[in-house]
Amino acid sequence: MSTGNGDSPRANGSHGNGGPGPLSGIKVIECSTWAFGPIAGHMLGDLGADVIKVENPNMPDAARGLALVAGVDVALPDGESSVFEIFNRNKRSIQIDLKQEQGQKLLKELVKDADVFLENFRPGVFDRLGIGYEDLCKVNPKIIYGSTSGYGFKGVEGQRPALDPVGQARSGLMWSTGAQGDPPNWNTLGFADLMGGNMLAYGIVSALAARELQGVGQKVECSHMMASMWLESAAIASAWYQGDGDWARFERSEASNPLANHYACSDGEWLLLSMPDSNDGWASLCEALELGELIEDPRFAAPDRRREHAAALIALLDARFAQQPLAEWARRFGESSEIESQPLRRISDLPDDPAAQANGYFIDIGHPRYGSMPELLHPVAFGETPATIRRYAPQLGEHTWEVLSDDLGYDAARIADLTADGIVS
Amino acid sequence: MAEGTLPGALVGLTVIEASTHILGPMAAAMLGDQGADVIKVEGLEGDPARSLRDYAGYDVSVRNAAGGGESNAIFEVMNRNKRGIAIDLESTEGRGVLRELLTTADGFIEGFGPGVLEAQGLGYKSLASANPGLIYCGLSATGPHDAEPSAPNPDAVAAARSGMMWMAGRPGSPPNWNNLSLGDTMGASMVAYGMVAAITARARGASGQRLDVSQLMSMAWLERWAVETVMVRKLEEWPRFDREETRNPLFSFYQCSDDQWIILGIIDHERDWVPFCRAMGLEWMHEDVLFNSGEARIANARQLVEALDARFAEEPRAHWEKRLGSERALIFDRVQQIAELPEDPAVQSNAYFQDVEHPRHGPTKMLTHPTLLTKTPAAYYREAPQLGEHTEEVLRERLGYADARIAELRSGGVIP
């Protein structure tokens, strides 16, 4: 085990090892790797749960030390991985060899006093180790057991291995993003993992509510495929509620409302027009674009006309927008309260966004090894029990001693024995 | 309800929803899926989404077989599992009725925009003084502070503002708006998540509280890996995936002879390179100096992409699925369209879609729930309400209004 110094100075002793937040006092044991499981785990931690991440000495979280992911260099200066750092805040780490019977017994002891157990290994792995839901239920009947899969636990693919790309592929997401005529689009934002982790967190918290309200623990299951489809809820409703499944990507040259579309400016930057499907602001827009002759043009004078002649209008707007840089259009549009528009920003612009600043979306956790490190705080702002970031991602086994001695009451001799036997490290 | 299961997680709770389109309604429907008694409060004109015809260029209208009136796919799906009441929210009396409903509610989801209800005396603080346990979720485009007037399409604005529009497509291609309404669907999911967290907290002794969710933050949270990596690695921008330049061609996607695409998710080269070559009939690569080691494959990634492009193009996708599937650990899958989902075997085995019978529209399909709670599962209880369908029922049941009061409200134009 290591004795690293990863605790944030903001660690709040009055909540035990967790923090304030809606899940203050909740204890989570997490056996997770990569993104799907870890994301759910840290979100529970953000909400104040005490999260203990159990890693196998021979097979720690695969995200540790990851240097390159889908073409992006994610290595931190000391060889650690930013992927691990981002998805494992607000957790302690203990190393247990779960392949050994004594390690499994130790895990069960931890689960006995826990509220939540979550793992994102391949379906069946934990059952075979004797620490699946049925096993842990015997130790703690009210345990909430979060689990993941690629495609759902039932059916012939119930134990099929999966990673983010297959969730995006199988769910239709890859044909739903990108431009028409392009190949399918695999974006490296990890939608299937991100949404999976978020929906697993939602499911676990729902099960916590069920435990309080209905008195039961239960297994919670989430899959890459279903989480990805959930992101497509509106598209799937459109395609399949009394429909034939028709769905295609947005084609900007044919947008049915040319005034809800994005346009390229002379400097390669883009501007989104976000006008309603009515005549509000139509005249002001034409004037600002110096296209006054279009205001009464029978092809474009009303929304239904603009829909009918969309391609022609878009072509005209394309040509006009391309004549001035973004700043000029933004300036002109800013002079009219009737014109709604938004410059297209880049991800790197987000921390400077005025709303992001006014609403405290980012918090700089000031990492001891990496310095300034702005992170998004939480997707929900809670007025009374806010989310917090209290710990940096733990080093491997950083808290083994602390958890065994403080949480389980083991004395030094016993910890030494377990270490010598290779059960913990 | 399936055998051995209990009622949904949120049975016994009442949630009032006053919002439009997708963000608020979808969140409320998720809570309704989990058994909460959801009451949708609309003005006398109704949620504007009721008259939606066009969604992303598709005609989503549903014409009733009988009974008059029209609806659309978006409204119906986003407002399932709710009762609906209509009140004149412009009038003091109407707002009084809403206030009374909120006195006994557990949750309130409102999308009027920052400051609007406050100005009408229905802000969180005012409601909480009468109902300290109330969990109040305010929705907005960019957050409650420093809010600008709401644009007509806050989801698209969030996509532009968050950098999401620069994420799709090949490097060098124009920015792209995907029409999935991610700010709405992710946002709604975050509302539901926040509400159940606050419900849990309250059940464990905390008071009620105010929550805030915005499309901008929801979008940022969905792309948060990229956002935070850009920050911590001090990158100028997040690079889009380039399948021709990728250094790991085994974590990429390829087109087959029938124009169908397949994606590979292979990262453990030590374990999987040999089985992969076997499945693909590419054993010659073991001897080829360009590809016969990990370093060589990275150095010659472009040539490897070309070789794989050529090989995949020789056979239809079903052939490759069979070959790759014969090697147990390889991670790969077909790239599917939304059109193929209901017939998908995993979708069917896991009941990810449900067939529901609408009393006026007949049989139709919708997604079930994003996560499965095995003992207290989500369910479909009822179709979306018609405008004001349950006004009288709710006022009698929850507020104890009798005939005279109802008649008074009706003749005063406060309720339809």
Specify the fold of A252-347. Answer: formyl-coa transferase, domain 3 (3.30.1540)
pLDDT score recorded for residue A180: 82
Q: What are phi and psi of A201, to 5 degrees?
A: -60, -45
Distance from CA of A41 to the nearest CA of B (A): 14
The 10s digit of each residue's pLDDT in A68-85 is 887 788 899 888 899 999
pLDDT score recorded for residue A305: 95
DSSP A154-197: SSTTTT----HHHHHHHTTGGGTSS-TTSPP---TT-HHHHHHH
Q: Note whether A184 contacts B: Cβ–Cβ < 8 A.
A: yes
DSSP B239-286: PPP-TTT-S-TTSSEEE-TTS-EEEE----HHHHHHHHHHHHT-GGGG
pLDDT score recorded for residue B2: 53
Q: Is B362 helix (H, G, I), strand (E, B) or coil?
A: strand
* Residue (of B29, B73, B28, B83) closest to B50 by Cα position: B73
Judge whether B378 and B8 are in contact, CB under 8 Å. yes
Cross-strand bridge partners of residue B109: B17, B137
Interchain pair A216, B375: CB under 8 A: yes
Interchain pair A210, B376: CB under 8 A: yes
B14-225+351-411 falls under which CATH superfamily? Crotonobetainyl-coa:carnitine coa-transferase; domain 1 (3.40.50.10540)
In chain B, which among 119-138 make CB contacts under 8 A with chain A? 124
User: Domain boundaries in chain A?
Assistant: 14-234+360-420, 252-347
The 10s digit of each residue's pLDDT in A22-42 is 999 999 999 999 999 999 999
Interchain pair B346, A356: CB under 8 A: no
In chain B, which among 151-170 make CB contacts under 8 A with chain A? 151-153, 156-157, 159-163, 165-170
Report chain B residues whose CB lies below 8 A from the CB of A49: none
Report chain A residues whose CB lies below 8 A from the CB of B80: none
Distance from CA of A391 to the nearest CA of B (A): 16
A347: nearest CB among B12, B78, B230: B230
Cα distances (angstroms) measured from residue B114 to each of A325, A376, A387, B117, B128: 33, 22, 21, 8, 17
Interchain pair B194, A379: CB under 8 A: yes
Interchain pair B229, A72: CB under 8 A: yes
Element (H, E) at B83: strand B83-86
The alpha carbon torsion through A16, A18, A20, A26 (nearest 10 deg) reads -100
Judge whether A105 and A96 are in contact, CB under 8 Å. no
pLDDT score recorded for residue A10: 37
Residues of chain B with pLDDT under 50: 1
Distance between CA atoms of A380 and B284, rounded to whole angstroms? 54
Q: What is the 8-class DSSP label of residue A4?
A: -
Handedness of CA A294, A297, A303, A309 (dihedral sign): negative
Q: How confident is the model at residue A11 (pLDDT cuts 50, 70, 90)?
A: very low
pLDDT above 90 for A44: yes
Distance from CA of A9 to the nearest CA of B (A): 20
A354: nearest CB among B146, B181, B233: B146
pLDDT score recorded for residue A127: 96
DSSP A314-338: HHHHHHHHTTS-HHHHHHHHHT-TT
CB atoms under 10 Å from CB of B233, counted, come to 16
Non-local (6+) Cβ contacts of B149 within 8 A are none
The 10s digit of each residue's pLDDT in A385-405 is 999 999 999 999 999 999 999
User: Domain boundaries in chain B?
Assistant: 14-225+351-411, 253-338
pLDDT score recorded for residue A201: 98
B337: nearest CB among A151, A172, A186: A172
Q: Note whether ipTM > 0.85 here.
A: yes
Specify the fold of B253-338. Answer: formyl-coa transferase, domain 3 (3.30.1540)
Judge whether B279 and B330 are in contact, CB under 8 Å. yes
Long-range contacts, stretch A309-315, CB < 8 angstroms, 24+ apart: A310/A254, A310/A255, A310/A256, A310/A257, A310/A258, A311/A253, A311/A254, A313/A258, A314/A252, A314/A253, A314/A254, A314/A255, A314/A258, A314/A261, A315/A253
B374: nearest CB among A218, A227, A343: A218
- Strand-strand pairing, B83-86 and B107-110: unpaired
Q: Note whether B2 contacts A: Cβ–Cβ < 8 A.
A: no
CATH topology match: B14-225+351-411 vs B253-338: no
pLDDT score recorded for residue A3: 34
Interchain pair A198, B189: CB under 8 A: yes
Q: Note whether B370 contacts A: Cβ–Cβ < 8 A.
A: yes
Report chain B residues whose CB lies below 8 A from the CB of A345: 160-163
Interchain pair B222, A195: CB under 8 A: yes
Element (H, E) at B39: strand B37-42
Distance from CA of A179 to the nearest CA of B (A): 6
Conformation bin of residue B15: beta by default, left when phi > 0, alpha when psi is -120 to 50:
beta
Q: Within chain B, what is the greatest distance between any pair of CA atoms?
A: 91
Report chain A residues whose CB lies below 8 A from the CB of B176: 177-179, 250, 252
Interchain pair B186, A195: CB under 8 A: yes
Distance between CA atoms of A120 and B78, rounded to whole angstroms? 30
pLDDT score recorded for residue B408: 97
CATH topology match: A14-234+360-420 vs A252-347: no
Interchain pair B165, A165: CB under 8 A: no
Specify the fold of A14-234+360-420. Answer: Rossmann fold (3.40.50)
The alpha carbon torsion through A351, A354, A357, A359 (nearest 10 deg) reads -130
Judge whether B366 and B342 are in contact, CB under 8 Å. no
pLDDT above 70 for A1: no
Element (H, E) at B16: strand B14-18
Angle CA(A258)–CA(A263)–CA(A267) in degrees, nearest 5?
165
Judge whether B84 and B387 are in contact, CB under 8 Å. yes
Handedness of CA A292, A297, A300, A303 (dihedral sign): positive
Interchain pair A152, B352: CB under 8 A: yes
- Average confidence score pLDDT of chain A: 92
What is the pTM assigned to this prediction? 0.95
Cross-strand bridge partners of residue A28: A51, A116
Q: How confident is the model at residue A14 (pLDDT cuts 50, 70, 90)?
A: low
Interchain pair B370, A174: CB under 8 A: no
Residue B252: what residue type? S
Distance between CA atoms of B24 and B28, rounded to whole angstroms? 6
Looking at per-residue pLDDT, the higher value among B238 and A293 belongs to: A293
B45 token code pair: 């004109």
The 10s digit of each residue's pLDDT in A98-141 is 999 999 999 999 999 999 999 999 999 999 999 999 999 999 99
Interchain pair A169, B241: CB under 8 A: no
pLDDT above 70 for A7: no
Q: Note whether B197 contacts A: Cβ–Cβ < 8 A.
A: yes
Interchain pair A213, B196: CB under 8 A: no
Distance between CA atoms of B179 and A176, rounded to whole angstroms? 8
Q: Note whether A334 contacts B: Cβ–Cβ < 8 A.
A: no
